[in-house]
Amino acid sequence: MIKQPKSGEREVRTLPTSEFRIATADDGTRTLSGLVPYNSQSLDLGGFTELIAPSAFAGALAPGSDVLMLRDHDVSNLLGRTKSKTLTLTDSPEGLRFTCTLPKTTQANDLVASVERGDLDANSFGFCTIEDKWLADAAGNVVRTLLSVDLYEISAVSFPAYPTSQVSVRSCPVELRSKLVKRDADACECDCAQCVGGDCGICSDADCDDENCSCAEARSIRNADANRRLSIRLAFAE
């Protein structure tokens, strides 16, 4: 059974890497190895950057953990996992090192060819945040540090991007949320802390009437229900 994250909201980070290596042993066994770096500042994730603390992956390194190695986050393209000892995770001063013994499949053969040609040059990891820290420097730049995460998969990926839908700002302090940019052209313009953080479903502005905010739709439904109930009561009264 494929592992699901224990709790929290799923997030994904993708990092360009020069660490991808394919090695072939004398018996023909092939391995893919790489690195998820510590204390390396990310690109802009929507008004903030991010660092991974050296202790962040302690849970994944503990006995009994089950982390998957995938291609492009596709669980149908499973390359290895720690539970079967086909994926090995090792802590180092530079970051979390991983080595995956590749299966003898067409999918693995395609991955090897893509890495060796330089077409595939990024690794990504999926996780849920357990503990993080948000700070703003004197210039107002917001930095999030991942202190502890539940790591559930590492992927070799083709597109080194940072999908904003897979970045959680729920833990960001309210006083820093106004500095974040997490909206697109279709997003609401409500300034409450929840909407700024991307949580329009729990908008806290009772007077919000932005049509792009999901709270407006919810209020419209509630009002329609109330009007319908009132009409029924009036009909019976007549």
Residue 92, both tokens:
């180092």
Q: For residue 122, what pLDDT is reported?
A: 83
Helix, strand, coil shares, percent, the chain, to 5: 25, 35, 45
Q: How far, in Å, CA of 121 to CA of 24, rounded? A: 19
Tokens 């929507």 correspond to 46
Cβ-based neighbour number of residue 41 at 10 Å: 11
Q: How far, in Å, CA of 203 to CA of 194, rounded? A: 6
174 with 192: CB under 8 angstroms?
Answer: no
Q: For residue 5, what pLDDT is reported?
A: 41
How is 161-191 classified by DSSP, letter by letter?
---GGG---TTS-HHHHTT-----TTS----
Q: For residue 62, what pLDDT is reported?
A: 93
Domain ranges of the chain: 10-170, 183-238
Q: For residue 123, what pLDDT is reported?
A: 85
Q: For residue 160, what pLDDT is reported?
A: 56
Q: For residue 187, what pLDDT is reported?
A: 58
Alpha-helix runs per DSSP H in the chain: 58-61, 106-117, 174-177, 193-196, 214-237
Per run of 10 residues, the mean pLDDT along the chain (length 238 residues) is 52 76 92 92 85 94 93 91 96 94 94 88 88 89 94 84 58 80 55 59 68 62 54 54
